[in-house]
Amino acid sequence: MIITCPNCNKQFRIDNSLIPNEGRDLQCGSCNHIWFCKIEEENEEVLKLNNEIASKDIEVKVEKNEEKIEKKREFKKINTKVNNEKENILEKQKNNALSKNSKNNGIKFFSYLIVFIISFVALIILLDTLKTPLINVFPGLEIILFNLFETLQDIKLFIIDLI
């Protein structure tokens, strides 16, 4: 038998033989609450099956079930239409995104190129500014820097000739 503490609703399984017919006091193992417990007699009447079932009730239930099935079919049709429309919209959005991505890739390339050129120019300016301290620390760097500046002069003249 399963009993429940009225204070904390903790459930316990106990043997029926431990509680006499007149009942007894029990104490909860969780909250120490004490209460009186008496075994309630179970209904021992045999249930009889009533064979007189109204066929009208069955027909009504069948009709309701058929209506529910039909509603579900209509709902599925509507859902498939909505899903098809959503798929069409998603495909259009994907196509638009792909065309935008191809345009963005070209723009990204030129953006990276401009950033690279500006960074390279800033590095050259920095090297030219710190040329003397760098040569004092690294004596072999003087020839490399001189060749770099000569190469940059040649590139500058080449670009001017193209324009």
What's the confidence (pLDDT) of residue 71? 79
Interatomic CA distance for residues 35 and 6, integer angstroms = 8
**Planar angle of CA 7, 33, 36, nearest 5 degrees:** 90
Q: Which residue's structure tokens are 């030219």?
A: 128
CA distances to 1, 28, 41, 138, 145 from 19, rounded to whole Å, are 10, 15, 13, 100, 103
Domain boundaries, the chain: 2-37, 57-113
pLDDT in tens, 47-77: 555 555 556 566 667 777 778 888 788 777 7
On average, the pLDDT of the chain sits at 81
Phi, psi dihedral angles at 96 (to 5 degrees): -65, -40
**Planar angle of CA 56, 61, 65, nearest 5 degrees:** 150
Asked whether the beta carbons of 31 and 8 are under 8 A apart, the reply is yes
